[in-house]
Amino acid sequence: METTFPIFSTAILIFFILDPLGNIPLLLSILKNIDKSRRSKIIIREMVIGLLILIVFLFFGEQFLSLFHLKAPSITIAGGIIFFAISLKMIFPDPNGGDVFVTKKGDEPLVVPIAVPMIAGPAALATLLVLAKTNAEHTGSLFLSLLLAWVLAAAVLLFSPYLYSVLKEKGLTALERLMGMLLLIMSVQMFIDGLVALVPTFLEASH
């Protein structure tokens, strides 16, 4: 029985789902009317709120899923499908773009839209629900993976004005699509793992 947990690779997976690079243009639009001296404080505050929401789903996700009597292989397959859909959206983004929340002069965003749904969005919450169910014996390590991914995402968002000025929109788009390709590969592997785990169940049912 495997006793180790891939903390770093899981953190990379969560980082992909959080997609801070893809959120940079939206974040800059949200904060463009905010005083520059306040922007970093707002980002940190919203990141912390988002992290708290993610932690709640991480530690209580298994109890939530148990209410519906869901089994680990089915959750793994569902997770693979979810990640597959997310990766396709990252590789082939909507040409019309999404809804942009732009603040008025003097207004500060609170919880919405940075903490939710930019940080603790449906994709991130679903990811943690899947990971918590399939790695119930490694909750502590999974928590470390979440923290690591969150720190990396927070660093990217805090330095977003500098990254945007260096990479420009085309550079950020290229990076996001690369991340989407990697997530696509991981989603296919997760789907295969779920099917393999179901093979014994099928064999038992056929006898």
Summarize pLDDT for 106-161 with one digit per residue, the tens: 567 677 778 887 788 777 887 888 888 788 788 899 999 999 999 999 999 998 88
Q: Could you tell me if 199 and 92 are in contact, meaning their C-beta atoms sit under 8 angstroms apart?
A: no
pTM for this entry: 0.70
**Out of 66-70, 172-176, 187-191, 196-200, least confident range:** 66-70
When mean pLDDT is compared across 12-16, 100-104, 147-151, the lowest value belongs to 100-104
pLDDT class for 8, splitting at 50, 70, 90? Answer: very high
* Dihedral angle of Cα 141, 27, 23, 114, to the nearest 10 degrees: 50
CA 84 to mean position of chain CA atoms: 13
In the predicted structure, residue 195 carries a pLDDT above the cut 80: yes
Q: Classify residue 1: in a domain, yes or no.
A: no
The helix (H) or strand (E) run that includes residue 39 is: helix 36-66
Structural domain including 66 reads 7-206
State the virtual CA torsion across 68, 125, 98, 91 in degrees, nearest 10: -100
What is the rounded CA–CA span in Å between residue 138 and residue 5?
7
Whether 100 maps to a domain, the answer reads: yes
Mark 150-166 as b/e (b = at least 16 C-beta within 10 Å). bebbbebbbebbebbee
Q: State which amino acid sits at residue 185.
A: I
Q: Looking at the domain assignment, is residue 88 inside a domain?
A: yes
In a domain, 98, yes or no: yes
pLDDT at residue 97 is higher than 60: no
Task: Give domain status of residue 30, yes or no.
Answer: yes
Q: How many residues does the chain have?
A: 207
Q: Residue 37 falls within a domain, yes or no?
A: yes
What is the model's pLDDT at position 102?
46
Mean pLDDT of 38-66: 86
Domains of the chain: total = 1
Alpha helices in 92-158 (DSSP H): 122-134, 139-158
In a domain, 157, yes or no: yes
Residue 31 lies in a domain: yes
207: Cβ contacts below 8 Å, ≥ 6 apart: none
